């Protein structure tokens, strides 16, 4: 199935448009199944999107107590560390929404457990999960979640992998793997800024080695980008 690209004039417009889409997607899923499920990402555009959801006048179209929140990857740091994707999402929007704490499923923190055991524990917790939508920030090198080009996690058959010597700090991370991400009904790839333009262009041209080119929703794959991220090579 071909991916569809939606270009937006600015990072703020991108964030507001993705927030609006997410509200509608979660509301639709709740109308169909009674519950909705989203996989969150980290990164700069994600933080803007979460703030836009929090500030949206339409946000109460979603019953937030019936949304399952998962994470696509995590920086393996102690609980509460400001660099954890969980901390970012909680501060940007989860703490402002009437979520059910039992439906918020952060990846384990580096609180005395090793990364491989943490990956295995998260795999157990999501074994029965259904994902309506997976959000994935795209990195400058074309990584998504913590699947970096050329790294073993990219071909790891486990549902969740521990990543070591990450090219982007911190060095230890946890990530959903391709077999898990690609179970989602919809995958939304998010890219903002000129630094992402090479990765976006190469992924859309099907560069086989790029993680961002390897994720696909079962029903729909969207690239939600801004103009700078879609710019042709100068
Ligand atoms: O480290 C990470 O980075 C990417 C992208 O971040 P950005 O700031 O360049 O948008 C993110 O998708 C991933 O979840 C995160 O762990």
In the chain, what are the domain boundaries?
4-230
Q: pTM for this one? A: 0.97
Query: What does the alpha-carbon distance between residue 44 and residue 23 come to, in Å, rounded to a whole number?
Result: 20
Average pLDDT over residues 23-41: 98
Distance 42 CA to ligand 1 centre (A): 5
Closest ligand 1 atom, residue 192 Cα = 10
Distance 147 CA to ligand 1 centre (A): 11
pLDDT of residue 233 exceeding 90, the answer is: no
pLDDT of residue 76 exceeding 90, the answer is: yes
DSSP one-letter string for 91-157: HHTGGGS---GGGB-PPPPSSSS-HHHHHHHHHHHTTT---SEEEEEPPTTS-BTTB-TT-GGGG--
Protein residue whose Cα sits closest to atom 6 of ligand 1: 43
Pick among 3.40.50.1360, 3.10.20.310, 3.40.630.10, 3.30.360.10: CATH of 4-230: 3.40.50.1360
| Residue 207 token pair | 């560069």
Query: What does the alpha-carbon distance between residue 172 and residue 164 come to, in Å, rounded to a whole number?
Result: 5
């Amino acid at each position: 199935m071909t991916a569809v690209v939606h270009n937006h004039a600015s990072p703020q417009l991108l964030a507001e448009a993705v927030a609006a889409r997410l509200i509608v997607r979660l509301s639709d899923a709740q109308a169909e199944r009674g519950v909705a499920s989203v996989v969150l990402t980290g990164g700069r555009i994600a933080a803007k999107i979460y703030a836009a959801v929090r500030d949206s006048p339409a946000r109460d179209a979603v019953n937030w107590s019936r949304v399952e929140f998962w994470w696509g990857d995590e920086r393996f740091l102690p609980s509460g560390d400001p660099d954890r994707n969980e901390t970012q999402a909680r501060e940007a929007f989860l703490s402002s929404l009437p979520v059910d704490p039992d439906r918020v499923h952060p990846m384990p923190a580096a609180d005395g457990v090793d990364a491989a055991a943490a990956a295995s524990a998260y795999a157990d917790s999501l074994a029965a999960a259904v994902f309506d939508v997976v959000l994935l920030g795209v990195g400058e090198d074309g990584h998504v979640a913590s699947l970096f080009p050329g790294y073993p996690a990219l071909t790891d058959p486990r549902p969740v992998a521990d990543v070591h010597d990450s090219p982007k700090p911190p060095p230890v991370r946890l990530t959903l793997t391709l077999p898990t991400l690609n179970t989602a009904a919809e995958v939304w790839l998010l890219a903002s800024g000129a630094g992402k333009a090479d990765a976006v262009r190469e992924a859309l041209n099907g560069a086989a080695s790029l993680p961002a080119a390897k994720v696909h929703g079962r029903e729909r794959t969207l690239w939600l980008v801004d103009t700078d991220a879609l710019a042709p090579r100068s």
